Structure 1
Amino acid sequence: MNARDEATTTPLHVQSGSEFHRVLHEAAITWNLNPKVSDRSWVAELDIASDIRLADYFCRQEGLEPTGERSTPPVPTVISHSDPTAVVRDLAADRVDLGATGYKTTGAISESLAIEDQSVSHPVATAGSAFVVSPPIIDSGVTSLRAEELRDIYAGKITNWKEVGGPDREIRVIAGPDANPPRWLMDTFFNGVPEAGVDERRGREATRVNRIESRNDAVGEVPVGFAVYDTPVLDISVDGTRFSVNETGYPATVDLACYSWGEPNPQERAFVSYLQSPAGQRYVDRYRDFLPLNWQADS
């Protein structure tokens, strides 16, 4: 039997090498507090009738003994931060229990380290970017663009909306600060091509969205969680298949996951179940960089 499978009060160690670290940190604070589910209206969300404590509830589902005590979860959890490569090394060496590597998959990192990838993915959120456009552009019928068209707009090769089926109007590309779009998006979606088509930059996401919505000719990129609330977001087509921003396959987004090395043990399953539940997803939804699991436009 693996030592990690034995009943223990040794803290569950979750190591993050990603932007998701702050979500894990806040979720773990509540887990370790082990409040009653009624304290924050989780009773209805978790569909339970009893007033059990939060960590107790998820641990009991995995056959672990509840403590019934505040600030004493059955499985105390520690969150640490490191770079994605170190996360995979520590997972493979059994130095940590769960790991998050952000935009980089454990498979790609394992290959670079010549380590046999034994990771198991447990999705917890969606991250990335969405493309917001001025409402008159949507009204004109431009509700979707091909990925190649968006790349050409940002590269300055397409400069008028009529070239993509819209009105005869110059395209205004509104981007964030110099480090925006994020490096992950530049390297993957934009293939590292310089943003020669950017017309202006706005630092704050809310300012960027307001600027785009106030015009009749603009497009811009914002974090995916920031874009989905009452904002005109473009669908993107890839190889003839159209994806909305909350669908798997939207090419400017990526699934974020916590990984176990091999199938998770009961302690790991309990914490992952918490992260994936409405109780844990509250912390995902708090940050506009991310979309919660099962996000719906009418939620």
Structure 2
Amino acid sequence: MENTESTDSGNESGDVSALESGGSSTVYPIMNTAASYWNANRPASDSEYWPHGEYDIDTDKNLADYWGGLYGFEAGGDDGPPFQFTVGLSHSGTGVEKVMNGQHDIGNSSGNVEDELPDRDSYDSFVDHVVGVDGQPLVVSQEIADAGIEKITGDQLKDLYKGEITNWSELGGPNKEIQVLGRVKGSGTRTSFVSNVFDNPEEDTQVANRYGQNQRLAQAIAQADNAISYLALAFINTDGLAPIALEWEGTTYSYQDDQNGLDSKAYPLSRDLHCYTWEGTSKKEAAVINMVLSDFGQDLFVKPNNYFALGKRRQKEQRNKLPSQA
């Protein structure tokens, strides 16, 4: 793919105003971790925080100074990074709208922009940078897992979100009402789930409550004794909830299964995690995105947050979208 680079003067490497990113609560852990590393700008001597030697990166520059320098930014050194990098938290719909409206430099989304903004005539001005992969787990309140619910089928999942199954006894569990939970409309987590399960990103579903962020949804599942929901993988270790398996078209997928885990290409709730830029990708945007897409970034920002790193082919494809380095 051809390199993309905006021609606005604000995109030149002399622009040291803050880089602003925001949107998806699913993508947030990745980009927030990246921002903490970038803004700390640790020296090359700090091999624990900036293990450049492990990635065949020969440099004596501080962390952000190195990645920014690839795009012509002057080193900040002890005074900080070449520019500050901030990450806001909302949801995917807000992220793609704000990058489109010039309120964010990078719009984070766990759903495709085509699904998040279905009424647009054209998406040509959006540049899609995929930074990782999420295999959405199905989770239940711990009490339900303890009662013996370990797996549901795809048809049962559809019936749950259509209000056609309402009691856990219908699934072999206790005689207890099912509290079906989910994310708000405009959330990339919801958009991806509904699109994958019903093959329609605008399908209506019946849920007891909708939550604006994955953090709050995870807490609600954990605090209940009868809940089920989809969730971003990064939040699967929340105390009080447990993952269950999904049988889909004859194959059972379960968390941490070596053969058919949530990282399987065939897992129906797998989705890409996106960082969108608008009308090209500036050098400032590229400096950070390139860091996230590097082996260093995939190992330090994506994997520790319980997401799946890009394979080498996809990693190369995504880096080829960035403008030429200095």
> The TM-score by the shorter chain falls in which range?
0.5 to 0.7
The equivalent of 2:24 in structure 1 is 18
Q: TM-score, normalised by structure 2?
A: 0.59
Asked if the contact 2:22/2:90 (under 8 Å) is kept, the reply is yes
1:26-45 alignment, distance < 5 Å? 27-39=34-46, 40-43=48-51
- Cα–Cα, structure 1 residues 157 and 32, in superposed 2: closer, same or farther, change >3 Å? closer
The equivalent of 1:233 in structure 2 is 243
- Cα–Cα, structure 1 residues 210 and 37, in superposed 2: closer, same or farther, change >3 Å? farther
The equivalent of 2:229 in structure 1 is 221
SS for the counterpart of 1:148 is helix
Structure with greater Cα Rg: 1
Residue 35 of structure 1 deviates from its aligned partner by: 1.5
How many matched pairs? 268
The equivalent of 2:316 in structure 1 is none
Asked if the contact 1:33/1:71 (under 8 Å) is kept, the reply is no
> RMSD of the TM alignment (CA)?
4.6
Q: TM-score, normalised by structure 1?
A: 0.63
For residues 289 and 60 of structure 2, what CA distance do their matches in structure 1 show? 21
Q: Confirm whether residue 292 of structure 1 aligns to residue 307 of structure 2.
A: yes
- For structure 1, the residue ranges without an aligned partner over 5 or more in a row are 197-202, 213-217
Asked if the contact 2:13/2:71 (under 8 Å) is kept, the reply is no
- 1:97 pairs, out of 92, 105, 118, with 105
- For structure 2, the residue ranges without an aligned partner over 5 or more in a row are 1-5, 209-215, 254-260, 311-326
For residues 101 and 125 of structure 2, what CA distance do their matches in structure 1 show? 11
Residue 151 of structure 1 deviates from its aligned partner by: 3.0
**Aligned-pair identity (%):** 21
Deviations 1:65-99 (A, max 9, x none): 55161244234435467776665455456665322
For residues 237 and 86 of structure 2, what CA distance do their matches in structure 1 show? 32
1:1-299 alignment, distance < 5 Å? 2-3=7-8, 6-11=12-17, 13-19=19-25, 20-21=27-28, 24-25=31-32, 27-39=34-46, 40-43=48-51, 46-48=55-57, 50-60=59-69, 62-67=70-75, 69-79=77-87, 87-88=95-96, 91-92=99-100, 96-100=104-108, 102-109=109-116, 111-126=118-133, 129-132=136-139, 134=145, 137=148, 145-153=152-160, 155=163, 157=165, 170=174, 175=179, 180-183=181-184, 184=187, 188=194, 189=197, 191-195=203-207, 205=218, 220-221=228-229, 223=231, 224-227=233-236, 233-239=243-249, 243=253, 244-248=261-265, 250-252=267-269, 254-277=271-294, 278-279=296-297, 282=300, 291-294=306-309
